[in-house]
A and B are shown apart, each in its own frame.
Chain A
């Protein structure tokens, strides 16, 4: 039976083939003013001819992995062509668009195929990978082929090389900053949690402590960071103090809200058992508050990283991710700045991911996790 293409898939197929045809027609590239026709680049030429031939899918069925292979071929050809061409012509850009369309078409068909049960769901892992690689490819090619100045945006390959050559520096910076992140996160979340319990226990404290918590969280980080440096010194404890100030309030507010999440029937139930305050807290109210507490932990995981990095702009020993970013920007070593950003992004996502995984295990019963009815 012939597999029907959706409207979007047909349009993508038409655009992919059409742009490959345009790339063959228009000038591909030039060097020192002399035009470089596409047959100077055999791999790119092969890709474009095959791309045009793929329009034949109107008459015969084409396996979706052909589109995947075509997009990989196009990516490799375009990257290799970068080494010889000086000026990319319209043909080169059309070839890039065509490559992108083939990648998109591949992902689109793969998703449809998994939904229909024709392909194993484990292959679904390919979809985000293809998406990420396409972004990196487009970034790399635009920056290099259009000769974007390195200070504005370095290509990903350069950032990657920089990461590999500066590993000792990056590791030292990471360890220095993450000491502050983890210590501040633990202290900020821990004290927010304890104060939330105190506030819950006493309405008097609720009226006093909640506004103070609110006040602290409203302080601008660039205002408190220099003060913390004066109080706690240049090393990581002053950064941890900034992180404490940033993470305390989200934890406090969320835990206070979470402690009220149990229903009145559930609290009446504990009362009929003559349960003490602490038994009710441990067996009913804290488990019911867990989704709120994990929300605060997730928010705080990213806040802590931002806080620690920004705090390092205001006086630090000569190590740390924030320190490195602020000094290397001054030296126009933009690739190292990007390398630090990449490390921070990966570390922050991993931190968040670990907390999200623990959350799934702990609040497995919550409708948002088990995805079921209430």
Chain B
């Protein structure tokens, strides 16, 4: 197995007005090709920061990290990942198809119309090409932003709590859609969440993190099959992994204050 992301002794300290904040400390992690890796932990545990380091949106202050065998900066310049943010961040003056086509415009793809319709088809948004983002529901907007990250066909997809703002029914639906999409496209996905069921349902590998300083406390390889209907969440195997994740979170969480 080739590793897409490889971090060794990675650390990141933010300098702030009232002292240094250690957002990441001694993170060692490999994400292999085709894996679905979830990062879970309470707020402040550095899961988003780690994703942003992979994307070259933050600079580590210690250790080393490679993305596709190169530095994160080169990986970004090679456009080797798609990033889905917490908010859809669709540009309100562009229709959905032109929003999805935005990265293609910037990267200079010639066949952008075909790529846009393929990406919209992957997230079931065919027929909404000419709508403006503010004419769609929150769930549809987030699907459009996923289509935008898929449009240029990067092998690595970084998702930062993409469904955090959506209600549970929409979230369940989008989770199972995401699994199908992952199976069809064979991408590597790094997914930040703070929902245990979401992490267990989606992932082949779950990274449990804890705050102050942000660090990895447990890495769980899921024995669940790749094909996962929604009711897999009632099975004993699923519940066992969920219990282990919960234990990991509890162990990492300090209540001394």
Contact = CB atoms under 8 A, between A and B. Distances in A.
A95 B191 CA distance: 78
A274 interface: yes
B87 A275 contact: no
A272 B91 contact: no
Interface in B107-162: 107, 132, 134
A363 B134 CA distance: 14
Nearest to B145: A269
B106 interface: yes
A372 B86 CA distance: 22
A5 B132 CA distance: 44
Contact of A274 (B79, B82, B91, B134): B79
A279 B108 CA distance: 12
B83 interface: yes
A144 to B, nearest CB: 54
B76 A266 contact: no
B75 to A, nearest CB: 10
A273 B103 contact: yes
Nearest to B57: A268
Nearest to A274: B77
A366 B93 CA distance: 8
A272 B91 CA distance: 15
Most buried by A among B81, B83, B93: B93
A67 B76 CA distance: 72
Given A272-B76, A273-B79, A274-B77, A266 B103 contact: no
A37 interface: no
B216 interface: no
Contacts of B85: 265, 268-269
Contacts of A364: 93
Interface in A318-374: 363-367, 370, 372-374
Contacts of B79: 273-274
B102 interface: yes
Interface string B185-200: 0000000000000000
A316 B83 CA distance: 62
Interface centre among B87, B91, B105 (most CB of A within 10 A): B91
Contacts of A287: 91, 93
A115 interface: no
B106 A279 contact: yes
Contact of A365 (B56, B92, B106): B92
Contacts of A284: 91
B89 A266 contact: yes
A366 to B, nearest CB: 7
B106 A265 contact: no
B55 A275 contact: no
Q: Which 5 pairs from chain A and chain B are nearest by CB? A: A365-B92, A365-B93, A272-B83, A265-B89, A275-B106
Given A268-B83, A269-B89, A287-B91, 17 more contacts: A263-B87, A263-B89, A265-B85, A268-B57, A268-B85, A269-B83, A269-B85, A271-B56, A272-B55, A272-B76, A272-B81, A272-B83, A273-B106, A274-B107, A284-B91, A363-B93, A370-B134
Interface of B: 55-57, 76-77, 79, 81-83, 85-87, 89, 91-93, 102-103, 105-107, 132, 134
